[in-house]
């Protein structure tokens, strides 16, 4: 049994409106990057807030770094978190902001320059926070979360609003942290990004866990599929009927037909379409990926 950074059992949060999080069970092995996904309102933020002791569960149990979530004082000194966007003083520089937090938290001030370098802000540490780009603000937020030199880093949407370059920088940062032994639990709507960086995944739907485990196990349980486009949009429905008639699950999303089946079956589908007088403009076999799997398992948009 690997050492667990997070482990929850039957964890629930109930509001008057119903369960925001309902009887969830999942485990995150130490030293891994674990993606945390679910459609809007699935319960991600509520779960994170329970893990950080910010709200108390209505039921169930949880352990962070071996300590119960009912005693957050026992583990919070070893947990760094960035949730709902970092809050900093606009008129202070990045370095000054971190120094304020270091002083408040009793962390060594020497860590400030080290952390600025680690998140790629060494050159801009002296610039006022209000001059920072969104990506720089996010990176400063991560630097603040790293002040306690945490064993577990919990990030809620760290790449929100970032451009591809900023996203790549965060990816490299998270990878290097995990390589150094930090466990990273990260929620994001950027599924393709999470697919690249995460070894583990927890997927929520309507407050319930629909998958928790190794990313590879998730894909191993999925069928390959193909993406199909037709010259005329109206022909897509006919393609769906042809595929379903041949025993293949199929649906249309964003003007593209997604049809389950191995790559070898693509030729058969092409022939069926041709015989029905339908011209295919795209027929591309795909391996299971997180975007497709997410859609299949949550039946929802991101
Ligand atoms: N304080 C609260 N009181 C009542 N209901 C709440 C409260 N906080 C969250 N909820 C409800 O719980 C559900 C889960 O919300 P939560 O914010 O955890 O979802 P999420 O997965 O983080 O969504 P998003 O991706 O949009 O941030 C939602 O239906 C939400 O309206």
Verify that 246 and 121 share a domain, yes or no: no
Verify that 200 and 245 share a domain, yes or no: no
Is residue 43 lining ligand 1, measured as CB closer than 6 Å? yes
Q: How far is CA 91 from CA 98, 120, 131, 218, 268, in A?
A: 13, 21, 9, 46, 64
Three-state secondary structure readout of 96-139: HHHHHHHHHHCCCCHHHHHHHHHCCCHHHCCCEHHHCCHHHHHH
* Mutate which of 14, 18, 38, 46 for ligand 1 pocket (most atoms within 8 A of beta carbon): 46
Is residue 41 lining ligand 1, measured as CB closer than 6 Å? yes
pLDDT at 166: 82
How close is the Cα of 98 to the center of ligand 1, in Å?
Answer: 30
Verify that 240 and 106 share a domain, yes or no: no
Q: Final residue of a domain: which of 188, 203, 220?
A: 220
Is residue 188 lining ligand 1, measured as CB closer than 6 Å? no
**Could you give the CA distance from residue 202 to residue 192 in angstroms, rounded to a whole number?**
15
Domain-embedded: residue 233: yes
The pLDDT tens digits along the chain (302 residues) read 569 999 999 999 999 999 999 999 999 999 999 999 999 999 999 999 999 999 999 999 999 999 999 999 999 999 999 987 668 999 999 999 999 999 998 999 999 999 999 888 999 999 999 999 888 898 899 999 999 999 999 999 888 778 888 888 888 889 999 999 999 999 998 898 899 999 999 999 999 999 999 999 998 888 889 999 998 888 999 999 999 999 999 999 889 999 999 999 999 999 999 999 999 999 999 888 888 888 888 875 44
pLDDT at 143: 94
Q: How far is CA 147 from CA 76, 101, 271, in A?
A: 12, 8, 61
Domain-embedded: residue 276: yes
pLDDT at 1: 53
Domain-embedded: residue 205: yes
Domain-embedded: residue 247: yes
Domain-embedded: residue 298: no
**Could you give the CA distance from residue 251 to residue 292 in angstroms, rounded to a whole number?**
11
Q: Final residue of a domain: which of 183, 198, 220?
A: 220
Residue nearest to atom 18 of ligand 1 (CA): 43
Verify that 59 and 107 share a domain, yes or no: yes
Verify that 176 and 151 share a domain, yes or no: yes
Is residue 39 lining ligand 1, measured as CB closer than 6 Å? no
Residue nearest to atom 1 of ligand 1 (CA): 15
How big is the CA angle at 243 (ends 237 and 244), to the nearest 5 degrees? Answer: 90
- Point out the ligand 1 atom lying closest to the alpha carbon of residue 46: 18
- Domain limits at 253? 225-286
Verify that 120 and 246 share a domain, yes or no: no
Verify that 166 and 105 share a domain, yes or no: yes
* Mutate which of 19, 21, 38, 42 for ligand 1 pocket (most atoms within 8 A of beta carbon): 42
Which CATH number goes with the domain that contains 198?
Answer: 3.40.50.300
Domain-embedded: residue 270: yes
Verify that 206 and 252 share a domain, yes or no: no
Residue nearest to atom 10 of ligand 1 (CA): 20
The ipTM is 0.96
Count of structural domains within the chain: 2
Verify that 248 and 205 share a domain, yes or no: no
**Could you give the CA distance from residue 199 to residue 33 in angstroms, rounded to a whole number?**
6
Is residue 159 lining ligand 1, measured as CB closer than 6 Å? no
Domain-embedded: residue 302: no
* Mutate which of 22, 37, 40, 45 for ligand 1 pocket (most atoms within 8 A of beta carbon): 45
How close is the Cα of 297 to the center of ligand 1, in Å?
Answer: 20
The answer to whether 27 and 36 are in contact (CB under 8 A) is no
Domain-embedded: residue 299: no
Verify that 56 and 113 share a domain, yes or no: yes
How close is the Cα of 168 to the center of ligand 1, in Å?
Answer: 28
Q: Final residue of a domain: which of 174, 189, 220?
A: 220
Verify that 90 and 198 share a domain, yes or no: yes
Q: Assign residue 25 a region (left: φ > 0; alpha: ψ between -120 and 50; beta: otherwise).
A: beta
Verify that 122 and 230 share a domain, yes or no: no
Nearest to 231, CA basis, from 284, 283, 278: 278
The answer to whether 285 and 26 are in contact (CB under 8 A) is no
pLDDT at 184: 97
Nearest to 157, CA basis, from 141, 177, 178: 141
Which CATH number goes with the domain that contains 254?
Answer: 3.30.70
Q: How far is CA 168 from CA 90, 165, 220, in A?
A: 25, 5, 27
């Amino acid at each position: 049994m690997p050492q667990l950074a997070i482990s929850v059992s039957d964890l629930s949060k109930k509001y008057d409106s119903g369960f925001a999080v309902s009887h969830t069970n999942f485990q995150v092995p130490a030293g891994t990057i674990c993606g945390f996904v679910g459609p809007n309102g699935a319960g991600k933020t509520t779960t994170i807030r329970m893990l950080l002791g910010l709200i108390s569960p209505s039921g169930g149990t949880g352990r962070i770094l071996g300590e119960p979530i009912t005693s957050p004082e026992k583990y919070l000194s070893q947990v760094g978190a960035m949730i709902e966007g970092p809050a900093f003083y606009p008129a202070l520089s990045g370095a000054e902001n971190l120094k304020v937090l270091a002083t408040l938290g009793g962390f060594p001030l020497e860590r400030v320059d080290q952390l600025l370098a680690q998140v790629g802000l060494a050159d801009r540490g002296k610039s006022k926070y209000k001059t920072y780009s969104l990506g720089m603000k996010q990176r400063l937020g991560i630097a603040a979360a790293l002040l306690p030199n945490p064993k577990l880093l919990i990030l809620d949407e760290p790449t929100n609003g970032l451009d591809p370059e900023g996203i790549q920088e965060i990816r490299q940062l998270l990878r290097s942290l995990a390589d150094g032994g930090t466990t990273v639990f990260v929620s994001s709507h950027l599924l393709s990004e999470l697919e690249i960086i995460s070894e583990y995944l927890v997927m929520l739907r309507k407050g319930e866990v629909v998958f928790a485990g190794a990313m590879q196990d998730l894909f191993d349980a999925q069928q390959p599929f193909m993406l199909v486009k037709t010259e005329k949009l109206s022909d897509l429905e006919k393609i769906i009927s042809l595929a379903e008639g041949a025993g293949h699950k199929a649906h249309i999303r964003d003007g593209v037909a997604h049809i389950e089946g191995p790559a070898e079956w693509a030729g058969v589908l092409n022939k069926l379409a041709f015989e029905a007088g339908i011209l295919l403009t795209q027929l591309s076999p795909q391996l299971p990926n997180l975007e497709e799997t997410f859609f299949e398992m949550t039946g929802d948009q991101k």
